[in-house]
Every structure is written in structure tokens, then in C-alpha cells.
Amino acid sequence: LSTPSNVEDVGERSIIELIRQRIPPAPRWVTLGIGDDAAVVEPMRNTLDVLTTDAMVEGVHFDRTFTPPVAIGHRAMAANLSDLAAMGATPRVALLSLALPGSFPVPDVEAILDGLLALATRHGVQLVGGNVTRSTGPLLVDITAVGSVRRRRVLTRSGASPGDEIWVSGAVGTAAAGRGLHRARGARPHVETDGATTRAYLLPEPRVRLGGLLGRTRAATACIDLSDGLADGLHQIAAASGVGVDVDLSAIPVMPAAAAWFGTRGLDPVRSALQGGDDYELLFTVSRRQRSRFAAVRRLVNDVLLTRIGRITSEAGVWLASSGAREPVGAGYEHFR
Amino acid sequence: LSTPSNVEDVGERSIIELIRQRIPPAPRWVTLGIGDDAAVVEPMRNTLDVLTTDAMVEGVHFDRTFTPPVAIGHRAMAANLSDLAAMGATPRVALLSLALPGSFPVPDVEAILDGLLALATRHGVQLVGGNVTRSTGPLLVDITAVGSVRRRRVLTRSGASPGDEIWVSGAVGTAAAGRGLHRARGARPHVETDGATTRAYLLPEPRVRLGGLLGRTRAATACIDLSDGLADGLHQIAAASGVGVDVDLSAIPVMPAAAAWFGTRGLDPVRSALQGGDDYELLFTVSRRQRSRFAAVRRLVNDVLLTRIGRITSEAGVWLASSGAREPVGAGYEHFR
């Protein structure tokens, strides 16, 4: 029986080679991929480059005891693709920066790569470069993704106006419930067989197609992803657009399995779902004159649940309406606290 | 007297705000900077995007006891700009990914920013986005930089042919001597007043202008930077180009202060300089028909020492010639080992 080798046994170059072997053949617009001082790609004509970066740090964004390596890689890529989707951009290339503890097993590096490359490949995203280094502490997976969008098709947070409808994709709070559930169970979940909430947390599906369509067809005035939760997303759009938000509590889509989990903890399902992060869903606003375009988008993504949850107002603040009463919604948490 | 606040006291949003305040006004080709899901820039026509990422990890690439925060920021940016210079690209934008220990002092975050932004601004590079997160272990500063270059002006590692001259910018081994010197002194150096070797280690000057000129004028066949040392650079060019390398030991430029430091440790100055990393100098090859173009480049960068150190051969391997004898040169170190 051979023990799996650790990264300190094989060296940096072997890890880079292991990454290179896993990358599918590059499309023609990748002029130069991994292996030189930098990667070179050919941007399309009349398009804008959209750039984002997001890091997953062990002990902050995941716990190695509970999170299978394939999910660590998947989530790191998903966070970046979701940011590009929220801008209406089509993802094109990614760079991977890995900081690995010396005692980290090489098969786990391979599983991280499998997770992130499977998701990237599914969305036509090419890994073109990166950096591998040792970490004196936690595992860190940092991805930078670059996408493209035509001019005036960019979706920002600042375009919402009073009267716009507020829509959300998928269900809210599912990932928060899944995180709670699989931590409570205290073991590494089997991602293929576990329930929908655990899968939503470990293998979230970024809304790449929906975001690209909303941008291309100009069917939304503002857009953000729900990585920091619905409450945070509503606050961000309200602040950036200089508007207020009225949300109907009864309209917020919460999956029954997630509601059940919050219920067993004595928590209000919808209010918990509002504050929970890690859902890579899109929150966006649709103006009156965009409604027919948005109806066309809905027909194209008929496998994605889309729910109208409220309306943009001119009164500042984020408000939740339920059975006649109105209450202010607090902002989300911050990672340092 | 007020104690400097730590990052866990102020929260993630305050750190992002602190970054935003320090960034100079964006040029017009930055469509959207910090504050949305992603940044948006307008690439120039008929140009290629060149992408690179490089991370600095506490305990691996620097020691907080010895390295002033301003130098941590400077070096992280320098490593990325140097990679773009080695491709012949003009740097345009950067993204910053920070993983901060909870107890890390906010004034040190500000000093890191000052260091990286001063260097970026000097080279016309705009910080357009990034990510701030907590680290459960070391401080990590990860930068992704994007530059542009016209088609067929890209400098790779693979273009060298037998007969080409091998050139290097600046002096070799200076940063390695500076690192040794300032660690031996056991205190934080004063970067303004300390010697040339310490400055070369803490505040290296990436060869942005030289790299851009070599690319634009097609005055080099291959190029790499010396971040992993001269020996490593020679091996990389030899392997990527499928050629061999003959280097003249007596031609390798070593600063007297660096040679003196290696001498006091009982080390051979030139052989130590060959293996030392962290010099952000350029190593490049010039073919016979490029010589007049290269002479024109030399006149434009007459403040940079440029030295011919050898010749590309058809015989595989990296060889060092000294007083009639020839010896093989070993490759550089790897970070995991």
C-alpha cells in the first residue's frame, strides 16, 4: 500500500504539470496558455473585458473536515462565474492561484482541480494560467475570471429605478440550510447522494446563462448575485441605485427542505433565508418597458425558477411586508466579524 | 493614545472603502472599477490581453518581522508587472485579492496599499477590483494583472535559436544578497536609507519600459524575468526553445555590495548570484538580424545596465564557461522543498 504523496514531496513544478494535464485543449482565441510568464488571449471586437476575483480560504469559507475537495474547487469557480453572470458577461478565461499547505495530499489537489475544471468546461471557460505556492497556514484557492460583454449591455447594481420589479432566480437560503445540515451531521457528505440543500451548498450552479441573456437582451436594469445573501443584495442595489426596496415576505422562494431545517433550529424560515449567504442566485430588477424582453428570457431559461419578490420604491431603505405590517431588513454579515 | 485598530475591529467593507479612497481617478478606458460584482475595462483594438497572477504569502515570500508592509505591497505588484514586461506587454489594470489575519493592524493594510499603488500609478496601471477576506493563518497578497500587446509582438520563452545572444538587465543576485543581509541584521530595515542590496530586495524595479520596448520593436526572440533566479531563467528558455545555453561566468553582472555579502558567507559570488531569486530583471535573447533594433532600444533605456552574458547553442543543457573549463549549471529551487 502506498501512501498518497503530499505537495512537499513532489514540488511546485509537478503541481503545475498536474494542472496542465487536466486542462482541455485550448480554443483558438487562447494565444498562449499555461507555461510562460503570463497568458495571452485575443479579446473580441467591440467588447468589454469584465474581470473578477474571489478567494476561498480554509477555516473561513470552508472546513476541510466537512467539504470534499471537489466541492472546494467547484465553489471557488462558481463564485467567480456567478460574479460575471451578475454583470451580464459571458465568461471566457480563468487564472488559478493556489496556496497549498506542505502536508496537503496531492490527490486532494487533483480533486480540487477536477471540481473547478468540470464547472469551467461546462461553461466554455478556459483555465489559461495562474500561480502555485506553499501556504504556511490554510489552503487558499483564489480564482480570477475574465468575461466579455458588448458595450451598453453591462448589468450593474446601480441601474434600478422606482417602479421596477424585483426578481430572484432559484430558491433562497438553500445553501445556508445545507451548510448547517452537513456540519450538524459531522461527516464529509457524499455529494452525489446527499440532499438538495447540501448539494446547493457544496455544488452551487452559477446562473451563467441567465446572466448572459439578461445582459444581451437588456432585460434588466440592475443585477447582483446572492453570494452574501438576499438581504445584502437588496441593500447593495438600493444603495448603488439610490432607491428603496419593498419586498413581500410571502413571495420569497424558500425550498421546503431548507425551511424544515431552519424550523428544527427554532428559526423563522424566511427571515433566516434572507440573511443566509452562499446562494449563487441572481437578484435583478426589471423596468416596465423591459417586461416583454424579460418574458422572452424566461421562455429560454424555463428550467430555472424565477420569482418576483417585490418592487423598487423612491423611499430609502429595505422593507419587508408581511400581513399588512412593514419591518426594516438588516444588512448581511461581514467576514471579519 | 489610541491603539491602531485591527481588521477584525473594522470589518471587510471598511477595508474595501480604504482601498477605494487610495485609488487615483480612473482613466476613461476603465468603464467600471471597484464596487460592483466585477470590473469592466475596454480593451484596445487589434491587441491581445496578457494575464498574470502572483501571490505573496507570509512565511514563504516574506517575513513580517523583517519586511515593512510598504515593501510587501510593492513586491506583490512588482512580481506581476515584471511578468507582463517579460511578455513585452504594457500593463493596464490589476485586481487585488487580500487574505488578512484578524489581528492584522489596519495601518499595515494601508501601508501595503501605499506600496502597491505607488508602483502601479508610476506605470499607469489602474487597480479596478479585487476581493478582501479573512485569513485563518498567514497574510496573503495575491495580485492579478492584465496588460496588452499587439499581435506578433508577444515575447515568449520559446523563441530562442542557436546563435542568438543572451542578455540580462541590471545586476544578478542583488536581491538574494539584500534578503540575506537584512535577515542577518534582524530588524526591520529603513527602506529609504538602507543599502542598494536591501532596496533591490524590498523595492525591486520591474523592467516595464524595457519589456514593452523589446516587444514593440521586435528586438528579442525570447524573454523571461528573473523572479526564480538566473539559473532557472536560463533553464526555462533552453527547455521551452529546445536549445542549449553557453554562459560566460566572467560576464555575469554582480553588484560589488552583493559579491561582498556572498564573500563574507564563504560563498562564490557569481555562482550564488546565479541561483538567487527575487531579482525582477529581464533575461532575453537577440538574434543576429535584431541587433540594430536592439541597439536602438538600448539608446532609449540608457539608464538600465544591459549585459551580454552568453550565447544560445544547439547542444542541450545550460553550461557555464570559466577560464577554459565548462560546468553544467543546476536549475533553481522550488518553493515546496
Which residues, 6+ apart, have CB-to-CB distance to B316 below 8 Å? B238, B243, B244
Instruction: Fill in the DSSP letter of residue B43.
Output: P
Q: Tell me the pLDDT of chain A averaged across its residues.
A: 91
Residue A172 near residue A254 (C-beta atoms within 8 A)? yes
pLDDT at A2 over 80: no
Task: Please spell the DSSP secondary structure of B185-223, one letter per residue.
Answer: HTS---TTTS-HHHHHHHS----HHHHHHHHHTT--SEE
Tens digit of pLDDT for each residue in B242-280? 999 999 999 999 999 999 999 999 999 999 999 999 999
Tens of pLDDT, residue by residue over A11-21, are 778 888 888 88
Q: Which residue has the cell 438553500?
A: A174
CB–CB of B336 and A7 under 8 A? yes
Determine the residue among B32, B34, B46, B51 to mutate to test chain A binding: the one whose Cβ has the most chain A Cβ atoms within 10 Å. B51
CA distance A300 to chain B (A): 24
Test B12 with A225 for CB contact under 8 angstroms: no
Interface subset of B 67-86, CB within 8 angstroms of A: 82-84, 86
List Cβ neighbours of A307 (8 Å cut-off, separation of 6 or more): A167, A168, A251, A252, A253
**Distance between CA atoms of B77 and B143, rounded to whole angstroms?**
7
Cβ contact A131–B156 (<8 Å): no
What is the pLDDT at residue B283? 98
Can you list the positions of beta strands (E) in B5-89? 30-32, 39-41, 47-57
* DSSP string for A172-200: SSHHHHHHHHHHHHTS---TTTS-HHHHH
Q: Is B251 on the interface with A (CB under 8 A)?
A: no
| pTM of the full structure | 0.92
DSSP secondary structure string, A12-66? HHHHHHHHHHHSPPPPTTEEE-TTSSSEEE-PPTTEEEEEEEEEEEBTTTB-TTT
Which chain B residues contact residue A49 at CB under 8 A? 40-43, 49, 146
- pLDDT means per 10 residues in chain B (337 residues)? 76 83 86 86 83 94 90 97 96 94 92 95 93 94 95 93 98 94 74 77 96 97 96 96 97 95 94 93 98 97 96 95 89 61
- Which ipTM value was assigned to this complex? 0.91
Average confidence (pLDDT) over A197-219? 95
More confident residue, A97 or A47: A97
Per-residue pLDDT, B330: 85
In angstroms, what CA-CA distances link B119 with B90, B279, B303?
14, 16, 18
User: From CA B252, how far away is CA B254, in angstroms rounded?
Assistant: 6
Q: CB–CB of B51 and A39 under 8 A?
A: yes
pLDDT of residue B296: 97
Would you state the cell numbers that stand for residue A17, as one nine-digit string?
A: 504539470
Chain B residues 170-229 within an 8 A CB cutoff of chain A: 223-225
A149 to chain B: which residues are within 8 Å by CB? 40
Q: What pLDDT digit, counting tens, does each position of A249-308 carry?
A: 999 999 999 999 999 999 999 999 999 999 999 999 999 999 999 999 999 999 999 999
Residue A111: per-residue pLDDT = 94
Q: Which amino acid is at B98?
A: L
pLDDT above 80 (res A322):
yes
Question: According to the model, what pLDDT value does residue B29 have?
Answer: 85
Contact A180, A277 (CB under 8 A): no
Residues of A in contact with B40 (CB under 8 A): 48-51, 87, 149, 154
For residue B271, is it left (φ>0), alpha (ψ between -120 and 50) or beta?
alpha
A257 CA to chain B: closest CA distance, Å? 29
Backbone angles phi, psi at B6, to 5 degrees: -100, 165
DSSP 8-state class, residue B26: P
What kind and span of H or E run contains B241?
helix B230-241
- Give the model's confidence band at A201: pLDDT under 50 very low, under 70 low, under 90 confident, else very high: very high
Is B40's CB within 8 Å of A48's CB? Answer: yes
Q: How many CA atoms lie within 13 A of A9 on its CB side?
A: 9
d(CA A302, CA B272): 64
Chain B residues within an 8 Å CB radius of A138:
135-137
Closest residue in A to B135 (Cα) is A57
Using alpha carbons, list the distances in angstroms from residue A186 to A65, A183, A193, A315, B210.
Answer: 8, 5, 16, 45, 56
Q: Is-contact A202 A257, C-beta < 8 A?
A: no
- Calculate how close chain B gets to A178, using CA atoms only, in Å: 22
pLDDT value of position B7? 85
CA distance A332 to A298: 29
pLDDT band at A333 (very low <50, low <70, confident <90, very high): low
User: What is the amino acid identity at position A143?
Assistant: I
